[in-house]
Amino acid sequence: MGRKRFVIEWGMGADIHGGDVTKAAQKAVKDAISHSCLCGLVEAYPLPDPNKMQIEAKIGCPYPEKINKAEVRKGIPFGSVEIEVVQGGLTVKGLHLPSLGPGDEIVLVVAALTVYREEE
């Protein structure tokens, strides 16, 4: 029968010192996940194994080529995960404090997580 979307959630993350887009993306994914509880997949619309979820993570960041997808993937605890990284997000001049990281650039990254389940 194909798959159907169950929920779309989004979040934002920043690396304030160091401009690390992977760290910012990890925070964005965590932010998105923290906005929802998928109890409907277990109780109202049964999915006995949460690893059967299919999750598409779309990440918008200022330097897509610098994202470590494997590290971002670790923040999504269940399901099969596909990560797409696109140009987006934002950079802004911050404060350079060498003890906290290189440079003075703040990077902001956004993440949209779409959760699907397979229809039987």
Q: Residues 76-90: pLDDT tens digits?
A: 999 999 999 999 999
**pTM: predicted TM-score of the whole model, two decimal places:** 0.91
DSSP-derived secondary structure letter, 17: S
Domains and CATH numbers, the chain: 2-119 (3.30.1330.20)
Tokens of residue 48, six digits: 């006995």
Tokens in use for 29?
């994914």
Instruction: State phi, psi for 62 to the nearest 5 degrees.
Output: -70, -20
Q: Enter the tokens of residue 84.
A: 């797409």
Q: Report pLDDT for 13.
A: 98
Tell me the C-alpha distance between 55 and 7, whole Å. Answer: 10
